[in-house]
Chains A and B, each alone.
Chain A
Amino acid sequence: MVAVVGALLVGVPAVLAARPGDATADPAQLRDLVTASADKPWTGYAEARAALGVPRIAALSDVSTLLSGVTRMRGWYAAPDQVRTDVLTPVGERDRYVTPRGQAVWDYGAELLTLVARDPRVRLPRSEDLLPPDLARRLLAGTSPSDPATALPARRVAGVDAAGVRVTVADPETTVGALDVWADPSTGLPVAVEVRAKGVPDPLISTAFAELAQGPPDPAALAPRRGPGAGVTRSPTSDLFGVLGRGDGSTLPDRLAGRDREPPERRFPALGQYGTTLGQLIAVPLPPDLAGNLLSGIDRAGAGRTLTVDGQGSALETPLLTLAVVRSQDGARAWALSGLVPRPTIDSGAADLLAGGAT
Chain B
Amino acid sequence: MIRVELLKLVRRPRTWVAVGLLCLLPAIVAVFLATTRISPPPGQGAAFLSAVLQSGSLYPAAALALVLPIFLPVAVAVVAGDSVAGESSQGTLRYLLVRPVRRTSLLLAKLVAVVVFVVGTVLAVAGTSYVVGVSLFGAGDPVAVVQALPEVTGGDDAVAGTGPSGGGQPQQQPAAGGQVGGQGAAGAPAARPGADTGDTTAADDQAARERAQSSVSSLSGDALGPADLAARMLGAMVYVTVSMLGVAAIALFLSTVTTSSLGATLGALAALITSQVLVSLDAASSVTPYLPTRYWLAWIDFFRDPIFLRDITAGLWLQAGYVVVLMLAAWANFATKDVTS
Contact = CB atoms under 8 A, between A and B. Distances in A.
Interface of A: 1-2, 5-6, 9-10, 45, 49, 51, 69-70, 74, 86, 88-93, 95, 99, 101-102, 104, 106-111, 113, 115, 210-211, 218, 221, 223-232, 234
B144 A99 contact: no
Given A5-B325, A69-B282, A99-B160, A226 B300 contact: no
A222 B162 CA distance: 11
A227 B43 contact: no
A224 B164 CA distance: 12
A1 B332 contact: yes
Given A2-B325, A9-B321, A104-B159, A225 B222 contact: yes
B306 A2 contact: no
A232 B156 contact: yes
B221 A227 contact: yes
Given A2-B332, A70-B282, A102-B158, A228 B151 contact: no
A243 B140 CA distance: 36
Contact of A230 (B221, B308, B310, B324): B221
A260 to B, nearest CB: 36
Contacts of A223: 159-162
A232 B152 contact: yes
B163 A110 contact: no
Contact of B140 (A74, A92, A228, A234): A228
B328 A1 contact: yes
A91 B218 CA distance: 12
Tell which of A9, A89, A221, A226 has the most Cβ of chain B within 10 Å: A226
16 contacts: A1-B328, A9-B321, A70-B282, A92-B47, A107-B42, A108-B221, A109-B43, A110-B42, A218-B306, A226-B152, A227-B165, A227-B223, A228-B216, A229-B165, A230-B221, A232-B151
Interface in B126-151: 140-141, 144-145, 148, 151
Interface in B300-318: 300, 304-306, 308, 310
Contacts, number: 147
Top 6 nearest A-B pairs (CB, nearest first) are A227-B217, A109-B42, A109-B43, A225-B163, A91-B47, A225-B221
B297 interface: yes
B110 to A, nearest CB: 18
A227 B161 CA distance: 12
B308 A88 contact: yes
Interface string B149-175: 001100111111111110000000000
B218 A227 contact: yes
B173 to A, nearest CB: 10
Nearest to A74: B308
Contact of A109 (B50, B159, B223, B329): B50
A90 B282 contact: no
Interface in B273-298: 282, 285, 290, 297
